[in-house]
Amino acid sequence: MTDFEEFYQSTYTRLVGQLFSVTGSLEQAEDVVQEAFVRALGRWSRIQAYEVPELWVRRVAINLAISDLRRFRRRAAALLRLGTQRPLPQLTPQTVGLAEMLHRVPVNQRPVLLLHDVLDLPIEQVAEQLGLPVSTVRGRLARARAKLARELAAEPEGALSPHE
């Protein structure tokens, strides 16, 4: 076991318990402590020379927790300014069917299908909006269409939902 692994094993639970007191959430406490350890690992050659390396990790975790709380407050304030009456999205049967269809292909292919095949944008514009080369868009589009064709061919007759 390395020095860092021993350090991690001996201090992790204590730090999570301490940060729980700051965050009020076990999940958030674990997140900030883990992030602090990741940062410590990258600087371990310097931090291990400190008299108490745990102090560095705790300080970083506390700073991360405070940043998270500030971000949460800003988000909550923005939501209050927007008001409670948010417009509801149009979830028609066609929209739900489209989402189900798009979920049959890998996540990186979904935007290409949506923008080109559903919204009828030219491939060049899809590439520009996604920040991808045109060749990548064409490749993803071809793979997505092939995947959908295989999926639909494998379905039993009449298996498509009535809203498709």
Domain boundaries, the chain: 3-82, 93-154
Q: Per-residue pLDDT tens for 71-129? A: 988 888 887 887 767 677 777 888 788 888 888 888 889 899 889 988 899 999 999 99
Q: How many angstroms separate the CA atoms of 32 and 68, rounded? A: 9
State the average pLDDT over residues 37-60: 95
Q: How many CA atoms lie within 13 A of 158 on its CB side?
A: 0
Nearest to 114, CA basis, from 90, 148, 162, 154 = 148
Name the phi and psi angles at 104, rounded to 5: -85, -10
Alpha-helical regions (H) of 89-163: 93-102, 110-112, 123-130, 134-154
The predicted structure's pLDDT at residue 96: 82
State the average pLDDT over residues 56-62: 96
State the average pLDDT over residues 21-31: 91
Taking all residues of the chain, what is their mean pLDDT, rounded to a whole number? 88
pTM, to two decimals: 0.53
Fold of 93-154: Arc Repressor Mutant, subunit A (1.10.10)
Cβ(23)–Cβ(60) under 8 Å? no
Determine what percent of the chain is predicted with pLDDT higher than 90.
55
